[in-house]
Amino acid sequence: MKIVAMDVMSTGVIAYYVLVASRSGLFTPILSGQKEYADPVPQAVILTAIVIGFSIQALMLVGVMKLARDNPTLETDELERGNML
């Protein structure tokens, strides 16, 4: 559940940045002759954030799969007690 919560939070932050950055009347920088165009740097940063978020989520899921294979329980208290010994 913590992994899903982190993914939802990451998606919410990215959606917020997309909402803030979206403005009407702006064109892509590829079109010539337009005076106002959207800045491509924030778009690249958001795309990078999406890719990094996906890779972190995949890494966390692999860790959970290894943890589930070694300790077949859903109780976090029991997992913490087992790792402290």
The structural domains of the chain, with segments of one domain joined by +, span: 46-70
Mean pLDDT of 56-72: 86
pTM of the predicted structure, to 2 decimals: 0.66
Residue 32: the pLDDT is 57
Which pLDDT belongs to residue 75? 77
Q: In which residue are the tokens 């990451």 written?
A: 10
- The pLDDT of residue 52 is above 80: yes
Higher pLDDT, 52 or 82: 52
CA pair distance 4, 13, nearest whole angstrom:
14
Q: Is the pLDDT of residue 1 over 60?
A: yes
* 37 close to 29: Cβ distance less than 8 angstroms: yes
Q: Please, what is the average pLDDT of the chain?
A: 80
Angle between helices 2-21 and 40-70 (to 10 degrees): 180
